[in-house]
Chain A
Amino acid sequence: MAEVVLRLGDDVSTDAIYPGRFMATVLPAETPQYCFADLTEFNRRLRAGEILPGSVVVAGRNFGTGSSREQAASCLKGWDLVIVARSYSRIFFQNAVNLGLRLVICPAIEADEGDELEFTPDAVIDATTDRSFPSEPLPPARQAIVDAGGLIPYIRMRLLQERTR
């Protein structure tokens, strides 16, 4: 079971997830402090350790719209949040998979903050409301990166195959 700790609407931009004014901070170890910095109470709760790893952010369509800034994925990954959204914007989606941020594609998800969610291979179940929402698998080209443990190990493996062939 995982608790919904934040519920957002459609078109959550990378500026909302990781405001541009913190973009000089690049390293994945340093970005989590600025996660949702303009949602000051949520950001405070993260930094105070009040949000458990594996907690869920629920959102609508086109989550991660906007910039290619990888900080938007690394800051969420740093707190080990799980994103359950109706759909994702392409570059954010790829960055998230590359960095090992857990994403669930759930085209009809409806859940409130405080709800407890369960994940099955093909559905998200809101145990609080006893409703079930079908989820979609990652496309095979993204799943291959997840299976390798992220893009860096995936490329390292490919590099070793090619340069030592």
Chain B
Amino acid sequence: MGMTVAEKILAHAAGLPRVSAGDVVEPAVDLAMSHENAALVMNQFAEIFEGTGLEPRVWDPAKIAIVFDHRVPAETAKTATNQKKVRGFVAAQGITKFHDIRSDAGGICHQILPESGYVRPGMVVAGTDSHTSSHGALGAMAIGVGATDMAAVWALGRLVNVEVPATIKVVADGEFKPMVGPKDLILYLIGMISAEGANFRVIEFHGRAIKRMSTSGRLVLCNMSVEAGATCGIVPGDEETVRYLREEAGVVDPITPVLPDPDAVYEETIEIDVARLEPQVAKPHTVDNVGPVGDVEGIKIDQVVIGSCTNGRLDDLEAAAAVLRGKKVAGTTRMLVFPASWRIYKEALRRGVLSDLIAAGAVIMNPGCGCCLGVHQGALGDGEVALATTNRNFKGRMGNPDALVYLASPVTAATSAIHGVITDPRKGGD
């Protein structure tokens, strides 16, 4: 009986010849990522060592990444003090993969890790953020955990008591219609299988639509796999993975993709013909409340948000700018753009993408999580409606439980911004 990608990676990391779904393993961690919540991990880490007489040193400072993104620059004295404490810990422990609030280093963790070449096929990545599932886009097994689980990783270098997840195989064939893409595919899939359809499971993506998809698009799929509950979304490493890592992430050392065995055992196989997909929208207040854009056309929107770890990459900003070029955001709508990293910000600046967006009336914010999680910038007023390219629309998500958040692709968001109401992107801006 063969193994899936997740099983192969976990078996290797646990030093076992084979594992299968349901086995309990302790995989060695290749990369342990935290953001501002490193402040809580530090607290739990110190507690582990209390009374042991052992010096509280992390197992391997070169394998820890800390990226400030959730509240940058700090919005309160409390956040600033937490960030200061984390900087002190980073220096004391010799952590090198540290990305502070700087235009030559900063951005959202789920963009910084791939673009810095930290994630490779076959790695076990743990992160104190649910969207750590993103990194499966590079053929890794990437698991979101809480702060105490991460403190355990910092102490032992392993994730303990991991139940090997079963895998759902998604085969996406066909060719996307114009103005339809990865965001529409993942929203459609989440709507189909529900917000817990992949809970405690991995989604492994296959098919010609995936083969042709850029790493940026694959990151969208794997990022939002967690919205179906998935432990990780995985695209097995291929030529595109190698191209991305070599050309865009500067990786020079050997890259070895991990492929599933031909007789790997999947819990379920879901086939999707992407040519049949229309632009999709997730309606309040759950990510699986999905329908074609036609269901919600004409709903007035107060704020459009383009950005986040889901859709704040260069191709997303370029697609939005192409829609908005020479046009204006509706007078009744605000448009906020959060590039996913400073590298993307600077490239979008160089290519004139930001000036197109600014000319249309959009406000360019500094790279970071921004208003996605309602803690920093861009909160909604009572009764307001947002259309966002982010990943969650839970009640209260954008800082106000009396507001509504719809989720869609960058082209749907940009087209809707022009009209001030949710609009099918295939209708254009006129």
Contact = CB atoms under 8 A, between A and B. Distances in A.
Interface in B64-123: 70-71, 75-76, 78-79, 82
Contacts of B286: 11
A62 B83 CA distance: 32
Nearest to A158: B156
Given A20-B399, A139-B163, A70 B146 contact: yes
B44 interface: yes
A62 to B, nearest CB: 4
B71 A160 contact: no
Interface string A15-44: 110011101111100000000001000000
Interface stretch (A48-56, A90-98, A110-118, A121-129): A90-98
B155 A68 contact: no
A24 B375 contact: yes
A94 B71 CA distance: 25
B54 interface: yes
Contacts of A107: none
A68 B396 contact: no
B76 A24 contact: yes
A67 B414 CA distance: 27
Contacts of B155: 155, 159
Interface in A116-165: 139-142, 144-145, 151-152, 154-156, 158-160, 162-163
Interface string A43-86: 00000000000000000011001111110010000000000000
Contacts, number: 150
B130 interface: yes
Contacts of B43: 26-27
Which one of B40, B50, B75, B229 has the highest number of Cβ atoms from chain A below 10 Å of its Cβ? B40
Given A20-B399, A23-B373, A158-B156, A152 B161 contact: no
B71 A24 contact: yes
Contact of A13 (B47, B144, B229, B394): B394
Contacts of B374: 15, 19-21
A100 B46 CA distance: 18
B365 interface: no
Given A94-B146, A141-B163, A23 B130 contact: no
B328 to A, nearest CB: 31
A25 B78 CA distance: 8
Interface residues of B, number: 58
A94 B199 contact: no
B145 A155 contact: no
B392 A15 contact: yes
Nearest to A67: B130
A162 B375 contact: no
Interface string B226-243: 000101000000000000
A8 B44 CA distance: 30
Contact of B145 (A20, A91, A145): A91
A45 B225 CA distance: 37
B67 to A, nearest CB: 15
A160 B76 contact: no
A43 B11 CA distance: 45
A160 B130 contact: no
A70 B145 CA distance: 9
B397 interface: yes
A140 B24 contact: yes
Nearest to B79: A24
Contacts of A145: 161
A27 B397 CA distance: 22
A99 interface: yes
Contacts of A68: 127-130, 132, 144-146
Nearest to A88: B199
A156 to B, nearest CB: 5
A20 B373 contact: yes
Interface string B183-224: 000000000000110011000000000000000000000000
B37 interface: yes
Interface in B124-153: 127-130, 132, 144-149, 151-152
A91 B196 contact: no
Contact of B70 (A23, A66, A144, A156): A23
Contacts of A95: 146, 148-149
B296 interface: no
B395 interface: yes
Contacts of B39: 26
B16 interface: no
B299 interface: no
| In the A-B complex, the 3 residue pairs with the closest CB atoms | A95-B146, A26-B40, A141-B161
11 contacts: A15-B373, A23-B70, A24-B375, A26-B37, A38-B401, A90-B200, A152-B44, A155-B151, A155-B152, A156-B49, A159-B48
Given A23-B375, A68-B145, 11 more contacts: A11-B286, A13-B397, A15-B374, A16-B394, A20-B397, A24-B76, A65-B229, A66-B392, A69-B146, A87-B199, A144-B161
